[in-house]
């Protein structure tokens, strides 16, 4: 019965073009990768426009050397959860380093690290979203924030994407003890940014706190690479910041930084912190190197290169898409290395993605529920290691495919 029921549901997904496919990378993360799918032979040397390794640190020799050294010094697994015996000196050093980096933006802060951003978001939302709390969440927030909110006991209001007038109207009506505004810093599927100055004004005016998930802003935005909050002109001190370490930092993990009482309470009560094995200490050890690079001259140089590539990609895409607008193609209003090319229905997104695959590019089609119905797209991401030539070849490929799609 169960098998039949699931087969029926899978058929439904297939009919709606919503089946997902497994790709098996045959070489390390980079701008070029050999990949295989379950039903296709290995394709060599695809140009990847889909990883979140924005600064190319997943393959930086110093980071890799540090990872090896971390294993020599600290062995393999942590052996237990943080509060049993798994919390080791590199975990603690990483938390201290991150707390210090953000001390000018988040006063009296502390930092807590997690194995993944998904778990960090579950922790923050479930711990802070108690029954006396009202959560205001942007409709395009990441799935992990949404899942954390679903698991919370808070009353939830969802506001239309970046519509802060709607948000203010909701805040005006609130009679809860505690208000939490929840937003991505850089939205993961569109690449646009939350306006943290406006949100800060609202937080002060309505006695609210702001949870910012800056998974895609951290390391990428700002002179020093501290992300969305570094680029905000009027930032209030009611910020709970989440960042991930598997994207621009090139390894894995996540952190939450906030006032020390908030962090202490998360530490004491968050189930996704307490009931899981601590990450490999070697990862934290290597992250110390990665973050030193990221917030120093090397990171700055790579961010400048990213800006250059982003500008080139956006200009080329704008020209291309203006020729296609009558066919319902548009680009997202991005200000980051994430760029969506919206084609509308699921079938077209899949066709475009497989067409690009055949031409030697890996660019995934993104469909509901990851994006709203009718806004299926391909999602491009850039790394500082891409070249202008990589982008030009991609644009040529897209031009060819758009012609065929008419
Ligand atoms: C905005 C955002 N938040 C959180 C996460 C989850 O982070 P992690 O991959 O470390 O679980 C992701 C993506 O993975 C993301 O895009």
Residue 263 lies in a domain: yes
CA of 144 to the centre of ligand 1 (A): 7
Ligand 1 contact via 144 beta carbon (within 6 Å): yes
CATH of the domain at 52: 3.90.1150.10
The verdict on 77 and 128 lying in the same domain is yes
Residue 65 lies in a domain: yes
CA–CA distance, 79 with 100 (Å, rounded to integer): 28
Ligand 1 contact via 52 beta carbon (within 6 Å): no
Closest Cα to residue 269, out of 277, 259, 261? 261
- In the chain, what percentage of residues exceed pLDDT 70? 99
Closest Cα to residue 159, out of 171, 149, 143? 171
Mean pLDDT of 304-330: 90
Ligand 1 contact via 244 beta carbon (within 6 Å): yes
Residue 45 has pLDDT above 90, yes or no: no
Q: Which atom of ligand 1 is nearest to the CA of 246?
A: 10
| pLDDT for position 39 | 67
Can you state the percent helix, strand and coil of the chain, rounding each to 5? 45, 20, 35
Q: Which atom of ligand 1 is nearest to the CA of 253?
A: 10
Residue 80 has pLDDT above 90, yes or no: yes
Minimum mean pLDDT range among 64-78, 338-352, 377-391: 338-352
Closest Cα to residue 109, out of 254, 248, 240? 240
| pLDDT for position 21 | 85
Q: Which residues pair with 258 in a beta bridge?
A: 110
Q: Which atom of ligand 1 is nearest to the CA of 184?
A: 1
The verdict on 261 and 161 lying in the same domain is yes
CA of 52 to the centre of ligand 1 (A): 10
Ligand 1 contact via 228 beta carbon (within 6 Å): no
CA–CA distance, 54 with 384 (Å, rounded to integer): 6
Residue 393 lies in a domain: yes
The verdict on 209 and 70 lying in the same domain is yes
| pLDDT for position 326 | 65
Q: Which residues contact residue 96 at a Cβ distance below 8 angstroms, ignoring those fewer than 6 apart?
A: 111
Q: For 133-170, how does the pLDDT look when each residue is reduced to its tens digit (9 = 90+)?
A: 999 999 999 999 999 999 999 999 999 999 999 999 99
What is the domain count for the chain?
2
| Bridge-based pairing state of the strands 361-362 and 208-213 | unpaired
CA of 389 to the centre of ligand 1 (A): 29
- In the chain, what percentage of residues exceed pLDDT 90? 91
Ligand 1 contact via 215 beta carbon (within 6 Å): yes
Mean pLDDT of 14-24: 89
The verdict on 233 and 316 lying in the same domain is no
Mean pLDDT of the chain: 95
CA of 147 to the centre of ligand 1 (A): 12
Minimum mean pLDDT range among 17-21, 86-90, 358-362: 17-21
pTM: 0.95
Region for residue 376 given its phi and psi (left: phi exceeds 0; alpha: psi -120 to 50; beta: otherwise):
beta
Q: For residue 180, give both structure tokens.
A: 């939490």
Q: For residue 171, give both structure tokens.
A: 């805040």
Q: For 183-202, how does the pLDDT look when each residue is reduced to its tens digit (9 = 90+)?
A: 999 999 999 999 999 999 99
| pLDDT confidence band for 68 (50 / 70 / 90) | very high
Structural domain boundaries enclosing 125: 61-295
| Candidate from 121, 244, 254, 273 with most ligand 1 atoms within 8 A of CB, to mutate | 244
CA–CA distance, 145 with 126 (Å, rounded to integer): 10
CA of 327 to the centre of ligand 1 (A): 32
The verdict on 67 and 168 lying in the same domain is yes
The verdict on 163 and 310 lying in the same domain is no
| pLDDT for position 404 | 84
**Side-chain-facing half-sphere of 327: CA atoms under 13 Å:** 16
CA of 402 to the centre of ligand 1 (A): 31
Ligand 1 contact via 109 beta carbon (within 6 Å): no
CA–CA distance, 240 with 212 (Å, rounded to integer): 6
Q: Which class for 186: exposed (0-12), middle (13-18), buried (19 or more C-beta within 10 A)? A: buried
CA of 139 to the centre of ligand 1 (A): 16
Q: Among 246, 272, 295, where does a domain finish?
A: 295
The verdict on 47 and 133 lying in the same domain is no
The verdict on 277 and 400 lying in the same domain is no
CA–CA distance, 192 with 184 (Å, rounded to integer): 10
| pLDDT for position 373 | 92
Mean pLDDT of 301-327: 91
| pLDDT for position 43 | 75
Q: Among 261, 276, 295, where does a domain finish?
A: 295
Cα dihedral sign, 115-154-195-102:
negative
Ligand 1 contact via 33 beta carbon (within 6 Å): no
Q: For 203-261, how does the pLDDT look when each residue is reduced to its tens digit (9 = 90+)?
A: 999 999 999 999 999 999 999 999 999 999 999 999 999 999 999 999 999 999 999 99
Check if the beta carbon of residue 235 is closer than 8 Å to that of residue 202.
Answer: no
Residue 37 has pLDDT above 90, yes or no: no
CA of 215 to the centre of ligand 1 (A): 6
| pLDDT for position 40 | 61
Q: For 265-305, how does the pLDDT look when each residue is reduced to its tens digit (9 = 90+)?
A: 999 999 999 999 999 999 999 999 999 999 999 999 999 99
Q: Among 254, 273, 295, where does a domain finish?
A: 295
Check if the beta carbon of residue 385 is closer than 8 Å to that of residue 307.
Answer: no
CA of 143 to the centre of ligand 1 (A): 8
Check if the beta carbon of residue 121 is closer than 8 Å to that of residue 155.
Answer: no
| pLDDT confidence band for 323 (50 / 70 / 90) | confident
| pLDDT confidence band for 44 (50 / 70 / 90) | confident
**Side-chain-facing half-sphere of 369: CA atoms under 13 Å:** 7
Mean pLDDT of 108-121: 98
Buried residues in 285-295 as b, exposed as e (16+ CB within 10 A)? bbbbbbbebbb
Give the Cα-Cα-Cα angle 309, 314, 315 (nearest 5 degrees).
100
Q: Whose CA is nearest to atom 15 of ligand 1?
A: 215
| pLDDT for position 41 | 66
């Amino acid at each position: 019965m169960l098998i039949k029921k699931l087969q029926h549901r899978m058929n439904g997904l297939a009919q709606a073009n919503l089946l997902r496919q497994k790709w098996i990378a045959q070489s390390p993360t980079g701008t070029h990768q050999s990949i295989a799918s379950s039903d296709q032979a290995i394709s060599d040397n695809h140009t990847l426009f889909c990883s979140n390794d924005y600064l190319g640190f997943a393959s930086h020799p110093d980071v890799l050397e540090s990872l090896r050294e971390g294993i020599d010094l600290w062995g393999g697994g942590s052996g237990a959860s943080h509060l049993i015996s798994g919390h080791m000196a590199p975990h603690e050093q990483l938390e201290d380093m991150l707390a210090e980096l953000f001390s000018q933006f988040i006063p009296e802060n502390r930092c807590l690290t997690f194995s993944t951003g998904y778990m960090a978001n579950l922790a923050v939302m479930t711990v802070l979203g108690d029954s006396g709390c009202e959560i205001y969440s942007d409709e395009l927030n990441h799935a992990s924030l949404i899942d954390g909110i679903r698991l919370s006991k808070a009353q939830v209001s969802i506001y239309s994407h970046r519509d802060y007038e709607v948000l203010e109207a909701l805040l005006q009506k609130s009679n809860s003890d505690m208000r939490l505004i929840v937003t991505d810093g850089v939205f993961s599927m569109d690449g646009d940014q939350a306006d943290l100055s406006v949100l800060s004004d609202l937080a002060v005016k309505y006695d609210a706190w702001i949870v910012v998930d800056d998974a895609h802003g951290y390391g990428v935005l700002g002179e020093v690479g501290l992300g969305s909050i570094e680029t905000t002109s009027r930032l209030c001190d009611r910020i709970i910041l989440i960042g991930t370490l598997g994207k621009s930092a090139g390894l894995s993990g996540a952190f939450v930084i906030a006032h020390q009482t908030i962090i202490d309470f998360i530490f004491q009560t968050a189930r996704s912190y307490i009931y899981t094995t601590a990450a490999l200490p070697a990862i934290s050890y290597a992250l110390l190197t990665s973050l030193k690079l990221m917030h120093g001259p090397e990171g700055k140089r790579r961010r400048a290169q990213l800006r250059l590539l982003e500008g080139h990609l956006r200009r080329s895409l704008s020209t291309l898409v203006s020729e296609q607008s009558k066919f319902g193609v548009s680009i997202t209003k991005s200000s980051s290395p994430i760029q969506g090319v919206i084609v509308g229905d699921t079938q077209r997104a899949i066709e475009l993605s497989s067409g690009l695959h055949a031409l030697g590019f890996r660019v995934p089609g993104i469909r509901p529920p990851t994006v709203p119905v009718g806004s299926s797209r391909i999602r491009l991401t850039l790394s500082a290691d891409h070249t202008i030539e990589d982008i030009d070849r991609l644009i040529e490929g897209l031009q060819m495919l758009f012609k065929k799609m008419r």
